[in-house]
Amino acid sequence: MDTVKATGSQAIVSEKKTSLDKSSTLSRIAYGLMYLFLIVVAVFQIFPIIWLFLFSLKNNQEVFNMSPFSLPENPKWENYTKVWTEGNISLYFFNSVTYTIAAVVLTVVLASMVTFAITRMNWKASKLVLGLFMVGLMIPVHSTLIPLFNTFTKINLIDNPLSVILAYTAFNLPITIMILIGFYEALPREVEEAAIMDGASINHIFFKITLPMTSPVIATAAIINMIYNWNEFVFVNTFISSDQFKTLTVGIQNFIGQYTTDWGAIGATLVISILPILIAFFILSNRIVEGIASGSVKG
């Protein structure tokens, strides 16, 4: 009888081991397929950047007479020197950096103040104000160009960098507030309540306690704002006419002529224009993921 029980238990253990081995094999296959899929997606994502870089090293003859996937015969590194010096790209690059940083800082600070007031203060119109900001998400940018142009003309802000910065800030506030709301709702209130008991003012609580605690979601909002501001074309093209105030997205038109177009120079300008966004994303990528994950769960 004992021998039968021992044999039965060994069979059960053997079956469990076999099932575990099968599940382990299936798990490895699933992970392998997942990583293979991610590698394919990564190749498709990285390939356009590599293609653009190779494109920037070609001249017009190579662009039109060779395969789009071919390597440049003689890399034209001078395309980068040409656009940086002769094409005035250095000035446009500086303008893009200035407008983007100014608008991002202004948008994030104002959106944080609004979100703090809506989620941490008790006042009757808080829901109404939040609704008004969310309505801004439904307003098309192009429908506001004529009213904004008329307004900026009356207050002498046409062909002024301030008009671009204000437009960026206004249109990015709704989406930034929406990103911050979820994170603020998940923040524990005990720290702020303790600060109130110690006699801290509202300004002290916001700037010294709440704002540092929201740094992950601020990084997320900042990179989203940065991408929009850096790539924006319509506002700059509408409100700015002087070369000294143009950005990269508008300045690239300098290489498009009536009869000839310097495609290699355009490629070099595009490479220069995407580098800051790529660098910023790599630096802030961990904070972005942390901010999205933290803001998606309330508790």
Please write the tens of the pLDDT for every residue from 203-260: 888 888 888 888 888 888 888 899 899 989 999 999 998 888 999 888 877 766 644 6
What sign for the dihedral angle of Cα 12, 13, 16, 22? negative
Q: Which phi and psi (to 5°) does residue 182 adopt?
A: -60, -40
Distance CA 208, CA 32 (A): 47
User: Cβ(92)–Cβ(221) under 8 Å?
Assistant: no
> pLDDT digit string (tens) for 163-211?
999 999 999 999 999 989 988 888 888 888 888 888 888 888 888 888 8
CA–CA distance from 1 to each of 4, 7, 285 (Å)?
5, 10, 64
pLDDT digits (tens, 9 = 90+) for 101-138: 999 999 999 999 999 999 888 888 888 988 999 898 88
Q: Which CATH class is domain 86-295?
A: mainly alpha
- Name, in order, each residue with C-beta under 8 angstroms of 91's C-beta and a sequence gap of 6 or more: 243, 244, 246, 251
> Within a 10 A sphere around the Cβ of 172, how many other Cβ atoms?
25
Q: What three-state secondary structure class fits 98? A: helix
Q: Within 232-262, where are the H helices? A: 234-239, 248-251
Domain ranges for the chain:
2-55, 86-295
